[in-house]
Structure 1
Amino acid sequence: MAQGKDSLQQILDDVASAAFATPDRGRVADYIPELARVNPDQFAVAVARPGKKTMFAGDAHTPFSIQSVSKVFTLALALGKVGDRLWARVGREPSGQAFDSMILLEQEKGRPRNPFINAGAIVTTDTVLAGSSPRETLGSLLRFVRAAAGDDNIHINESVAQSEITTGHRNFALAHFLLSHGNLANAPDLVLGTYFHQCAIEMTCTQLANAGLFLVGDKAAPRLVSPDRIRRINALMMTCGHYDGSGDYAYRVGLPGKSGVGGGILTIVPGIASVAVWSPGLNNYGNSKLGTEAMQRFADMTGWSVFGSREGRP
């Protein structure tokens, strides 16, 4: 380590160097045309700690589409709006299926397993949309995300949203299936228009790490939700945040995390930090390949884990 260099910054530099040196970068989400154009050679990691300077390495100031990471913020809004009544419409169990699977939705009569698979997120978006227009709902979501990040320079990429509207046939099928079981209050076009724009929020890795601080649970972190709700959102991120790869991520990293097919992963170290990684190439679960590997390396090097951490962490 260079003399005087912060140990956490050295870890981030080492993690980024290893990621850039890895030849197998996974495959970008080519079923969404705008995401298919993203350069897979990019990688970024950032760590935000309450009351401290955000640290980063790699392409941490390059905006990317956060996609399903947005479901964390929408879930926080939905719980703020209806509280535990949300769980009458969506479950809290891992799915064991792909993020856009219809199998369990059909078997369980239109009640999605959890709020992070697509069907569950559509229900969550429908909940937040109640009594508001899509524009008002998206405005509320952006204000929440900007407040969480402490940064007003966060926007929705309209090209990505339109790309998803054009190609999101399976999500339309999920929405109509939910409607057929009485689990959608608004018209599918309104809900999915809102949902696709929500997923098209663009952030940098440093912005995303900062935005996750409200889930760290420290007194110096933004106070946007209650401590009880922080604990429950983190629990859902741990068990369901990586779809059918959630168990693998928990085993390898040992921290609550939420992935998106744009290649981003938001990971929370309760009481300590919010960590964001980004690499556009995905693994077989639809989660960032290098992002997952980087987080495993980061957790090993820092000792940060909800299952106990070694002494001397940065």
Structure 2
Amino acid sequence: MENYKKIIADVYKDVKNVQDLGQTARFIPELAFVGTDNFGVHITMKNKENFGIGDFQKKFSIQSIAKVLSLTLAYKLEGEKLWERVDVEPSGNPFNSFLQLESDLGKPRNPFINSGAIVICDVLVRHLKNPKEDFLNFCRTLSNNENLNYNEKVAASEKSCGSRNVALCNFIKSFGNIKNEVAEVLDFYFLICSLEMSCEEISQIFLFLADEHFTTKKKKSVITVPQAKRINAIMLTCGFYDESGEFAFRVGLPGKSGVGGGIVAVHPDKFCITVWSPKLNEKGNSYKGMLFLEKFTTKTASSIF
């Protein structure tokens, strides 16, 4: 662990001084107010050793990182039938694209593009008695952290400018792949994206994907080992939208980004690491987060390849 600490500190110092060429996610009005100088990193090892630097304890809106958590719960509830509703292929298109939905008859290419995550929310709305409370309780149990909460102000901000997601949801419903009311599904979707966590909390909650023997505080497993492997595989191939291949090439770990500037990366059987820097590159991924993880996996030789 000491070697990791030194490398993280050295890379953090190096990347902190790099000119950040990104921009915050101004298409969600509330995110434009986040301080652009925030930069934090936290790693949690399989044995629970951990280390953080910078703004690693500040909470931020995790946005699409939450899609991994909603997928996990849907997969747990639905099993293999889930893949009848959503595919597992890279899209090669931006996260809010319509391009493939018509030719694919309303079946999204993967669960991490917006259309796929909306279908996952539809699955959860059908399964859960109180989707808002039940999903939050699932996340709290998974992380053993009762302090996790939504940021309702961010959710309202997303809803105010969510016309494209409304259109996506209606388009998918026209093919019969949305079973519930569009408004209910979208309210839930906007809410889960507003979930707030720090780098430290994210690296802890995602430990279930790094540790095949992971159990909650009540000694219960979350999902099966094959299911965890499949989620890691989808993160590797689809976690960064049309920059997923670039992330696999440069970083070499399963991961997921969010337009709040967070990136989580998992090394199965070793660790989970989270980086937060709000300015995004042109593909919608954290500019400094990508750079940090590339340098980190290079110096630690911790790519899965």
**Change over 3 Å in CA distance of 1:221–1:278 after alignment to 2:** farther
Alignment counterpart, residue 206 of structure 1, candidates 189, 194, 200: 200
> How far 1:50 moved relative to its partner?
2.4
Alignment counterpart, residue 171 of structure 1, candidates 159, 165, 170: 165
Give the corresponding residue for 2:229: 231
Partners of 1:42 and 1:254 in 2: how far apart? 25
Give the corresponding residue for 1:70: 66
Give the corresponding residue for 1:147: 141
Partners of 2:123 and 2:235 in 1: how far apart? 19
> How far 1:131 moved relative to its partner?
4.5
**Change over 3 Å in CA distance of 1:240–1:92 after alignment to 2:** same
CA contact (8 A) 2:208 2:214 kept: no
Partners of 2:265 and 2:141 in 1: how far apart? 18
CA contact (8 A) 2:46 2:211 kept: no
* Letter of the 1:263 counterpart: G
Give the corresponding residue for 2:150: 156
Partners of 2:28 and 2:214 in 1: how far apart? 38
Alignment counterpart, residue 270 of structure 1, candidates 263, 268, 280: 268
Partners of 2:127 and 2:43 in 1: how far apart? 37
> How far 1:53 moved relative to its partner?
2.6
> How far 1:152 moved relative to its partner?
1.3
Partners of 1:73 and 1:46 in 2: how far apart? 19
TM-score computed with the length of structure 2 as normaliser:
0.96
CA contact (8 A) 2:39 2:275 kept: yes
The range that moved more, 81-90 or 49-58, is 49-58
Partners of 1:53 and 1:275 in 2: how far apart? 12
Corresponding residue pairs, total: 301
Partners of 1:138 and 1:226 in 2: how far apart? 24
Give the corresponding residue for 2:281: 283
* Letter of the 2:135 counterpart: L
Partners of 2:171 and 2:212 in 1: how far apart? 41
* Letter of the 2:15 counterpart: A
**Change over 3 Å in CA distance of 1:218–1:228 after alignment to 2:** closer
Partners of 1:13 and 1:217 in 2: how far apart? 25
What is the root-mean-square deviation of aligned Cα atoms in Å? 1.3
**Change over 3 Å in CA distance of 1:252–1:206 after alignment to 2:** same
CA contact (8 A) 2:150 2:195 kept: yes
Partners of 2:252 and 2:47 in 1: how far apart? 24
Partners of 1:201 and 1:71 in 2: how far apart? 11
Question: Sequence identity, in percent?
Answer: 42
Give the corresponding residue for 1:17: 13
> How far 1:266 moved relative to its partner?
1.1
Partners of 1:147 and 1:50 in 2: how far apart? 18
Instruction: Summarize deviations over 1:117-142 as a string: whole Å, max 9, x none.
Output: 00000000100110445xx1122221
Give the corresponding residue for 2:210: 216
Partners of 1:80 and 1:9 in 2: how far apart? 35
> How far 1:52 moved relative to its partner?
2.7
> How far 1:15 moved relative to its partner?
2.1
Q: Structure 2 stretches of 5 or more lacking a match?
A: none
* Letter of the 1:46 counterpart: H
Instruction: Summarize deviations over 1:47-97 as a string: whole Å, max 9, x none.
Output: 111233321111001100000000001001111111111111111100000
Alignment counterpart, residue 54 of structure 2, candidates 40, 58, 61: 58
CA contact (8 A) 1:138 1:194 kept: yes
Partner-residue secondary structure (3-state), 1:100: coil
